[in-house]
Structure 1
Amino acid sequence: MGFRYRKSINLGGGFRINLSKSGIGYSWGVKGYRVTKTANGGVRRTVSIPGTGISHVTETSGGNHENRQQNRQNESTNSNLYGQQDIENTNIETMCSDGVEDILKSANRALLLNTISTACIVIFFLLSCGTPIFLVLLAIAVAAKIYVKRSGVIDLEYEIDEEELEHIKERMRPIRHLLTCDKVWRIMQSGKVIDRKYSSGASSTVRRVACKVSDKTPFPFRSSVSAVCVKSGKENLIFLPDKLFIMKSRKIGALSYWDIESSAQRTRFVESESVPNDAQIVGTTWKYVNKSGGPDKRFKDNRELPICLYGELALKSPAGLNTDILFSNPNIQ
């Protein structure tokens, strides 16, 4: 780096400690020669002529300081949690309320045949190159899949009395509200926070995934009334007037609403992603917040974050249902 002129204060013992907002640096040495470990991980070697203030410095980089700082922040955030709990549905194949046994039996058979026909299509397609017999088998597999998709459909025909209609509308009202929301998520894990500084001041944090919400029933079901389907990853929740179907891979469960415990509430959520169009912003905070509620200035990427008011719907049952749905518009009409 060439020559430079510098005056400094020696704290004694041959060692210096430099505290700054970028980190902690150390140096040690004797008169005329000193080695410094900088806060960003680099090493600086200084050769000087005692009494003149003239020195020559060579410095090696410690790598990308911003990346290392981000890694430290991520490590701090991950180690800042305790009591994490997964929120997921278990034992789907054993979820079966009274009266739905035959429906589940037919549905599982249709899904199995559909899976087999799909696997045959893939296998015969890969083997068909240059082998005419596999082209014939491929055509048969395609025809079988079309047949399964048509004949394997389970029609759910509803006849609802006028007296029961109002009860059903009231029960389905928070569910159908999901169709009108700009964003819907499934909460997959929750945990408590040790130091709120790394969680924007929140005492708990969650891991969520975005959902697709539709009023169309997926194969193998077809309903005479509109449904509400909430899809997250490979799992699909199908809300019908009398029951909830839970589908994941080739497993299907069904629970009557009498066997489900549900609760709906409003919750304040620190939004680190884009704010949904129908969300209510009720305050702001910082990605890294100090005890007074202001920004922690030690972090360069400390941006201001909105606090949104969302709706939350929790569904549980002793049979293994454990679903927590977060939605952007909390005003259920």
Structure 2
Amino acid sequence: MGWSYRKRIKIIPGIHLNISKRGISTSIGIKGASINLGPSGTRLNTNVLNFSNSHNFSGNPQQNRPNTEPQPIFSELSDNIFSADLHEITSQNMAGIKESIWVAQKQKAELLANLHKIKKALNFTKTKKMVSYVFIYGLINKQIVLKLNEDINAQKEAIKETQIIIDNSAVNIEVQFDDPSKRKYENLSNAFKNLATSYKIWDITAAHFQNRVAARSNADTLVNRRNTKIGFKSLPVINSNYEALYFQNVNGADLYFYPTFIIMYTDNQNFAVIGIDELTISFSSVNFTETEPVPRDSKVISKTWVKVNKNGTPDKRFKDNYQIPVVRYGRISFFTDTGVNEEYQFSNFEFTEDFAYAFREYKSLCKEV
């Protein structure tokens, strides 16, 4: 069985996809300095039982890393924190990348169906050969067995070739950096590697204000947080020389950060592709009134009471009132104008700050291809 198809698809000016037996490939060049960081007044939600302070990294790219204590910010909180429908948030200039992923997935699905048929045909041919011996005619007419052997060999070869193409049914993206951009991306990758070692990582799925006086609480915000994980992990449909920075999302599509775009992915039918230049990252410190064990890489900055008066003293009306720690955590929010809205909290404040800074520095060098 022979394979000889080749197709060329234009994605955006200067970028093409080549589809052939070896798979789907393209190349993207990053020359280093052009993505704007977006508006300076980004929003950030505060956290469960906490007071929230913030460094905002959505401003002048020339600013140095803040070296003063973060200043409090106040922002609107939504009851539920999740991104818009995936079919609505793909960047316009990323439509070609999304189309190439569709092509790869469709090709793989069709080839898997063909592979199943070939394997079924192979089993049938083997059965015919066995039956020919049982009923003697295969022993008498050697040509029958020879023909069946030829069919078996051809079908085995077809299975082998089809499997190779299935394994290569992915979008092959070769990212090319100049030296300054490469150093910035390596800094980002190293900062992410450190961030992934945080003892606790939470996905913030909901947040709302509470009346501190009525609740007799030190916290002005209640949040829903769920344990999650991050790490290096790529999608099977993407072959790249750089592995994706992966953020698990407990109430929506997972996030895969590649050097020039982010894929939000639920399954083969539900995913979005967003350009790095469209993503805004906001970083803040969070003073969190912790009712669970304090993570070993976090710093306790003060103490409060489970039930507290407005002036901070313990409410003596509650017999079993006791002290609880206020812990400093790091918070990162990702959002775009098209509807991305995800928030994470990390037990290691310093690693969170380093990652947010490295992301800002890398984004300042990115150039939209």
**TM bucket normalised to smaller:** 0.5 to 0.7
Cα distance change of structure 1 residues 114 and 298 upon mapping to structure 2, 3 Å threshold: farther
Higher relative contact order (CA 8 A, sep 6+): 2
Aligned counterpart, 2:341: 322
2:87 counterpart SS class: helix
Give the alignment partner of residue 277 of structure 1, picking from 277, 288, 296. 296
Q: Secondary structure at the match of 2:349?
A: coil
Q: Is the 8 A contact 1:271 1:306 kept in 2?
A: yes
Deviation at 1:315, TM superposition (A): 1.4
Partner of 1:237: 255
- Quick one: structure 1 residues 253 and 286, their matched pair in 2 at CA, closer, same or farther if it must change by over 3 Å? same
> Is the 8 Å Cα contact of residues 158 and 224 (structure 1) preserved in structure 2?
yes
Determine if the alignment matches structure 1 residue 211 to structure 2 residue 228. Answer: yes
Q: List runs of 5+ in structure 2 lacking aligned partners.
A: 1-48, 50-75, 113-123, 125-159, 355-369
Contact 1:270/1:306 (8 A) holds in 2: yes
Residue 93 of structure 1 corresponds to 87
Q: Which has the higher strand share?
A: 1
Q: Structure 2 vs 1, CA of residues 201 and 95 (structure 1 numbering), >3 Å: closer, same or farther? A: same
Flag the 1:182–1:237 CA change in 2: closer, same or farther, 3 A. Answer: same
Structure 2 residue aligned with 1:137: none
**Equivalent of residue 308 in structure 2, options 289, 294, 308:** 289
Deviation at 1:215?
0.6
Deviation at 1:210, TM superposition (A): 1.5
Q: Percent identity?
A: 23
Question: Are 2:171 and 2:239, in contact at CA under 8 Å, matched by a contact in 1?
Answer: yes
1:201 aligns to 2:218 (yes or no): yes
Structure 1 residues 92 and 172, CA, compared in 2 at 3 Å: closer, same or farther? farther
User: For the pair shown, which has the larger CA radius of gyration, 1 or 2?
Assistant: 1
Tell me the distance in 2 between the aligned counterparts of 1:190 and 1:237. Answer: 21
Letter in 2 for 1:240: Y
State the 1:290 CA deviation.
2.5
Could you say if the C-alpha distance between residues 248 and 85 of structure 1 is closer, same or farther in structure 2, counting changes exceeding 3 Å? Answer: same
**Structure 1 SS opposite 2:176:** coil
* Cα pair 1:262 1:313 within 8 Å, conserved: yes
Contact 2:264 2:271 in 1 (8 A): yes
Question: Which secondary structure does the structure 2 equivalent of 1:312 belong to?
Answer: strand
8 Å CA contact 2:329–2:348 kept in 1: the answer is yes
Q: Quick check: 1:160 aligned with 2:177?
A: yes
1:201 positional shift: 0.8
Matches within 5 A, 1:1-333: 84-108=78-102, 150-169=167-186, 175-196=192-213, 198=215, 200-233=217-250, 235-249=253-267, 250-299=269-318, 302-332=321-351, 333=354
Task: State the 1:202 CA deviation.
Answer: 0.9
Return closer, same or farther for 1:168/1:300 CA change in 2, 3 Å cut-off. same
Q: Which moved more, 1:273-282 or 1:90-99?
A: 90-99
Amino acid at match of 2:80: D
Runs of 4 or more off by more than 6 Å in structure 1? 112-118, 146-149
C-alpha separation between the residues in 2 aligned to 1:315 and 1:201?
A: 27
Give, in whole Å, the separation in 2 of the partners of 1:112 and 1:106: 10
Q: Which amino acid aligns with 1:165?
A: K
The offset of 1:160, in angstroms, is 1.2
Aligned residues: 234
Conserved? CA contact 1:91–1:319, under 8 Å? no
Structure 1 residue matching 2:175: 3-state secondary structure: coil
Q: Where is the helix percentage greater, Structure 1 or Structure 2?
A: 2
CA deviations 1:197-224 (Å, max 9, x no partner) are 6373111121112211121213322321
Deviation at 1:229, TM superposition (A): 0.3
User: For 1:269-317, what per-residue CA distance to the aligned partner results, in whole angstroms no more than 9, with x for missing partners?
Assistant: 1122222221111112222222342433444664432211111111111
For residue 181 of structure 1, report the CA deviation from its aligned partner.
Answer: 1.5
The CA distance in 2 between the partners of 1:314 and 1:193, in whole Å, is: 21
Aligned mates of 2:110, 2:304 — CA distance in 1? 52
Write the distance in 2 (CA, Å) between the matches of 1:113 and 1:288. 61
Structure 1 range deviating more: 230-239 or 309-318: 230-239
